[in-house]
Structure 1
Amino acid sequence: MSKTLLITGGAGFIGSYLADQLLEEGHRVRVLDNLSPQVHGGDCMRPDYLVDDVELVRGDVRDPDAVQKALDGVDGVYHLAAAVGVGQSMYQVAEYTSINNMGTAVLLEALIEKPVERLVVASSMSIYGEGMYRTALGQAVPGQRRGREQLKQARWELHDAEGAALEPVPTAEDKQPDLSSVYALSKYDQERLCLMIGEAYGIPTTAMRFFNVYGPRQALSNPYTGVLAIFASRFLNGKPPLVFEDGLQRRDFVSVHDVARACRLAYATPDAAGRVFNVGSGNAYTVREIAERVGAAIGKPLAPEITGKYRVGDIRHCFADVTLAGQVLGYRPQVTLEDGLAELVEWLPRASAVDRVDQAGQELARRGLTL
């Protein structure tokens, strides 16, 4: 049955793909988005990739009037609006807290007055901090934060109390959060607020913990976007990608098509209410490997520059266990990294890529956020 669905932040990268898929299913789609200059450029115009059938309400999720207008007549909500970026969140504390925490609170107050049939909120793998590990005896243990002294000595890996190396393993949803950045704290707040209010007011709510999402339409000129897009921007500007630590930290990279599909499944699955799900590929790649593969795919195999530096708030290893999403939602990642990179490379000639990575790095260094 056709529904009218609202996507907050829906003019952005992930939201636009979700809008495409919802339209293909026959739904009506409305988007609330402030068209942030950091994401959409200085002209703040409606992006070309947002199809004409999407109704755009330009406004801020912190504005009660804009939110009320956007909610008029909708059946369900996907809440994707957020300021994104671990490093930037550590000095734009008020901005991130305002957009992510207060914006979610404003939306939820409006939903208390105008309940909808479903709410799906975008959370983040950043809430885990370090992922899960296995000891030499096979015991599963959560990763602990690395101290500054350890990092200053470039001892990147995690060890147990006896000094034995820990092996990273997939991280499942039952790992306790370890909030090591303002961004992580704000995403956890978004997640818990939505689940709490959803339960209190009878709005079935699901939180989706996205891992490292990539694909066409990412804001290549935003130095705080996903690492894969940042690497692509560097290559397009004839510069090697900058890789922190030794480049052997492992992450999960998931196609935006799979992420949008997971969000649709969460909305359509009654048993998803009140639960959280990892949304990743279920695969782990080193950051150095990703840099090399992006360069090879673009045809500019510049060796990545291994900086040996560390950013405050970064973690060593974290990649997704997607078993629960498969069991409950029927989610199966469909886009391989090879196919996803090929699609990204095909899109790049049409994209604008102003490299601002050096400026962002200088800003972090000036504030003592890199070691």
Structure 2
Amino acid sequence: MTRVLITGGAGFIGSNLVQALHAKGYDITVLDSLSPQIHGEDPMASPLVQSLDGKARLVHASVMDKDVMAEELAKTDIVVHYAAETGTGQSMYQVHNYCDVNIGGTSLMLDLLGAIEHSVKRMVVASSRSIYGEGRYTDAAGNDVYPGARVEADMLAGKFDPLDPATGQPYTLQATDEGSKIHPSSVYGITKQVQEQLVMTVCPTLGIEPVALRYQNVYGPGQSLSNPYTGILSIFSNLIMQGKSINVFEDGLESRDFVFIDDVVAATMLAIEHENAPGFAYNVGSGVATTVLEVVDALIAAYGRPTESKVSGQFRLGDIRHNYADLSLISGRLGFQPSVDFAEGIRQFAAWAGTQGPRASAYERSLEEMKERGLMKGAAE
């Protein structure tokens, strides 16, 4: 059997990938630090961890553990590298930790692969849409533009869209393709960019086929409802189930590309198995931009609970305005097409979350931490 090592494989995406790999007969090892932020104080009781039982061998260790990593790499054929700290906002005030784990762990793994005997043939690295920073836009003349970080003074004045200085009007949003400018606006994005570049640069020198997957905003049944850095679907779901008001940042028209977990697993299986996959970085998304206000409306409808929402004008430094994926490359080379639209995905997610929550979350505390560090701005709630 083909042996697969999934670093960070007890997380949301990794544990779902395990199910697909197991169904196809792979020999799977999951190496994971079992972070309390993701799995709680008793990680072995985590549903994500329990879902691995009978399907994968679990190694409780960090990617920074040189001896353990060397031992596991020596007996694998394919590496799927998910291990990383993942909170965009948190990364802005835990800079050393994010660089240490995300960049240091990846570089250690590559050093080991150059030093030990192994049979690794392919490595799939989880990259991120965050490496793009703002997505692709066009100006009034139809030229591609890639705006930098938004100006705090503009945002305090309620001007949240990147503006064309020639007209004073917002640029026109376009789908972001893999040839778009790489200019991350958060420490997390910087570390994912470096992770991707390390793998894509070093692996070929070691005779290993590299593949990078630039995941958009992944969601679905099973994702953490308690981790405040998981994303707005979990955050808003907890608030709705508790009967609390939802604080909508900016003007609510900021958008993201939400991609359902089943589609992410399907794309990852193609990266593992398809002969055309190696040597490229691929966007993995739905190819659709969905605004935060659309998310709020969809969740309230799905739970069937009247919920107050307030557009507060608050914003976080380092956040982007828009980004959604152009899927032409992964569609053309690997035949990937997303199969679950946002309406169906939200229906499945809310049906599951309604049986699980609400859950205690450190969301409010995470906002306080950002305020204390001057990263949360704008009008009071």
TM value normalised by structure 2: 0.94
Number of aligned residue pairs: 370
Name the SS of the counterpart of 1:66 in structure 2: helix
Distance in 2 between residues matched to 1:236 and 1:71, nearest whole Å: 43
The amino acid that maps onto 1:15 is G
2:105 to 103, 106, 112: 103
Please state whether the residue corresponding to 2:365 is helix, strand or coil: helix
Distance 1:238 1:322, change over 3 A: same
Once residues 33 and 319 of structure 2 are traced to their aligned partners in structure 1, the CA distance between those partners, rounded to angstroms, is: 28
Contact 2:75 2:119 in 1 (8 A): no
Q: Over residues 37-62 of structure 1, what are the superposed CA-to-partner deviations in whole Å (9 max), with x where a residue is unaligned? A: 00000112162222422110110011
Counterpart contact for 1:215–1:340, Cα < 8 Å: yes
Q: Tell whether the 8 Å contact from 1:297 to 1:341 is kept in structure 2 after alignment.
A: yes
SS of 2:52's equivalent in the other structure is coil
Matches for 1:103-142 after TM superposition, within 5 Å? 103-112=105-114, 113=116, 114-142=118-146
Q: 2:50 aligns with which of 43, 48, 51?
A: 48
1:35 lines up with 2:30 in the alignment? no
Assess, with a 3 A threshold, how the Cα gap between structure 1 residues 115 and 182 changes in structure 2: closer, same or farther: farther
Task: Mark the runs of 5 or more structure 1 residues left unpaired by the alignment.
Answer: none
Give the Å deviation of 1:269: 2.1
My pick for the range that moved more, 58-67 or 334-343, is 334-343
Question: Which AA in structure 1 matches 2:368?
Answer: Q
Among residues 108, 133, 156, which one is paired with 1:152 in the alignment? 156
Where does 1:332-371 land on structure 2 (aligned, <5 Å)?
332-352=337-357, 353-371=359-377
| 2:314 alignment partner, SS class | coil
Q: After the TM superposition, which residues 156-167 of structure 1 pair with which residues of structure 2 at under 5 Å, given as runs?
A: 156-162=160-166, 163-167=168-172
Deviations 1:123-162 (A, max 9, x none): 0000101101122333222233211211121111122121
Range 37-46 or range 181-190, more displaced: 37-46
Give the alignment of 1:290-369 within 5 angstroms. 290-352=295-357, 353-369=359-375
Change (3 A) 1:69 1:239: farther
1:18 — aligned with what? 17
CA distance in 1, matches of 2:161, 2:182: 20
Equivalent-residue separation in structure 1 for 2:308 and 2:204 (angstroms): 50
SS in 1 for 2:208: coil
SS at match of 1:29: strand
In structure 2, relative to structure 1, the CA distance for the partners of 1:295 and 1:69 (3 Å cut) is farther
Identity score, percent: 41
Instruction: Name the aligned partner's letter for residue 87 of structure 2.
Output: G
Q: Is the 8 A contact 1:211 1:253 kept in 2?
A: yes
SS at match of 2:13: helix
Paired residues for 1:230-245 under 5 Å: 230-245=235-250
Matched letter for residue 367 of structure 1: R
Residue pair 2:76, 2:119 contacting (<8 A) in 1 also: no
2:236 partner SS: helix
Distance 2:352 2:82 in 1: 24
Distance 2:44 2:141 in 1: 56
For 1:310 and 1:151, how far apart are their aligned partners in 2? 8
Q: Distance in 1 between matches of 2:170 and 2:97?
A: 39
Give the counterpart letter for 1:94 in structure 2: H
Instruction: After superposition, give the CA deviation of every residue in 1:321-343 in whole Å (9 maximum; x if it has no partner).
Output: 11111011111001111221121
Unaligned ranges ≥5, structure 2: none
Q: Secondary structure at the match of 1:317?
A: coil
2:5 aligned residue:
6
Question: Partners in 2 of 1:36 and 1:54 — Cα distance?
Answer: 18
Q: Contact 2:149–2:318 at 8 Å: present in 1 too?
A: no
**SS of residue matched to 1:74:** coil
Partner of 2:268: 263
Distance (Å, rounded) in 2 between the aligned partners of 1:9 and 1:245: 33
SS of residue paired to 1:305: strand
- The residue identity in structure 2 corresponding to 1:148 is E
Alpha-carbon distance between aligned partners in 2 of 1:282 and 1:102, rounded to the nearest angstrom: 32
Mapped to 1, the partners of 2:79 and 2:108 lie a distance apart of 14
Q: Once the 2 structures are TM-superposed, how far is the Cα of residue 115 of structure 1 from its aligned partner?
A: 4.7
Residue 82 of structure 2 aligns to which amino acid in structure 1?
Answer: L
